[in-house]
Amino acid sequence: MLFLVHTRDKPDALAIRMANRDAHIAWLKAAGASVKAAGPWLDESGDMAGSLLIIEAEDRAALDVWLAGDPYQAASLFERVEVAPYRWAINPPVEAG
C-alpha cells in the first residue's frame, strides 16, 4: 500500500534540517525500493521547509514504525506530519521486472 507523508518543519528550523540531512538521506536510501519518491518542499525564499514522501508499506502501523526511525523525527524538526493512503494515478513509477 502506498502512503503520502507530508511534513512541515518548525519555524526557523533550517539549521536542524541541515545538521541531520545526511543521516536522513542515508535512512531513506536504506529503505530501498519502498521509497517511491522523496524530497524537500521549499518555502517562498527557496529554503527547505518540509518533506514530501511517497512510501510503500504493508500498512499504516508498519509505516509508523519506519517513520519513527527518521533522524529528522529524532531531532524534533517537524511542526506537523500528515499521512494518508495514496493511489498513484498519473505516471506511476515503472517497476523493473
Q: What is the pLDDT of residue 4?
A: 98
pTM: 0.91
pLDDT at 40 over 70: yes
* Per-residue confidence (pLDDT) for residue 94, from 0 to 100: 72
Between 17-21, 29-33, 83-87, 92-96, the lowest mean confidence (pLDDT) is in 92-96
CA distances from 96 to 13, 33, 93 (A): 38, 11, 9
C-alpha cell at 63: 509505516
DSSP 77: -
Q: How far is the C-alpha of 82 from the C-alpha of 97, rounded, in Å?
A: 32
Higher per-residue confidence, 37 vs 94: 37
In order of their start, the domains of the chain are: 2-86 (3.30.70.1060)
Using one digit for the tens of pLDDT, what is the confidence trace for 59-97?
Answer: 999 999 999 999 999 999 999 999 999 999 999 887 644
